[in-house]
Structure 1
């Protein structure tokens, strides 16, 4: 699928689950900060987080098989 050029408004927040694993969540919003996705969004487990790096992961399925997708971000100056 191709993505068209343009502005995407996203609301980011942290969902504190209380079970020890917090989640980064985001939803698409409009210019007035109103939800445009019908309450749907994305949640990624925060595996580690510090001032230099962040690691997130989510479980999903590919061709009927469960997999874990890991996202690793590092700060670049």
Structure 2
């Protein structure tokens, strides 16, 4: 997941996420991406938020959209269009 998706789930601004990433050692390590555009593992982010007593502020629809978006093509998940 991108920092923007992380910020939506956490209910924080992208700047807050970026600052926390730089200043706190307990921030989840990127699982992919580049230094300028890191990608994070959704379950690790969710566990980190729970460990700090935060709950997701994203709606179930947003969380589902994020989860499905992370699966991408070739994941075995197919979307049906009507």
Tell me the TM-score normalized by structure 2. Answer: 0.22
Q: Counting strand residues as a fraction of each chain, which structure ranks higher?
A: 1
Which structure has the larger Rg? 1
Higher relative contact order (CA 8 A, sep 6+): 2
Give 1 or 2: higher helix fraction. Answer: 2
